[in-house]
């Protein structure tokens, strides 16, 4: 996983957690949902990058 992509995904995850927490405090379901969506997006980006890394390692072995 490139450091840049990993950093972006981690930042998106943190942003989502903060937004979800703010929604929990204020009782705003829209912020809660948007925060959870950002966290899911970050998780997906991590999974994609991890898959790319795995494929690259396998290619490099051969």
Quick: pLDDT tens for 9-25.
999 999 999 999 999 99
Res. 62 pLDDT band, cuts 50 70 90:
confident
Q: What is the mean pLDDT of residues 43-60?
A: 92
Range of the domain at 55: 3-61
What is the value of pTM for the model shown?
A: 0.83
Angstrom distance (rounded) from CA 53 to CA 44: 14
Domain tally for the chain? Answer: 1
Give how far Cα 42 sits from Cα of 7, 11, 27, 49, 52, Å.
Answer: 10, 8, 24, 11, 15
């Amino acid at each position: 996983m490139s450091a840049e992509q990993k950093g972006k995904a981690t930042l998106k995850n943190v942003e989502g957690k903060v937004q979800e927490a703010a929604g929990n405090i204020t009782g705003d379901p829209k912020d809660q949902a948007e925060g959870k969506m950002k966290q899911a997006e970050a998780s997906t980006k991590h999974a994609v990058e991890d898959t790319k890394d795995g494929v690259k390692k396998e290619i490099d072995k051969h």
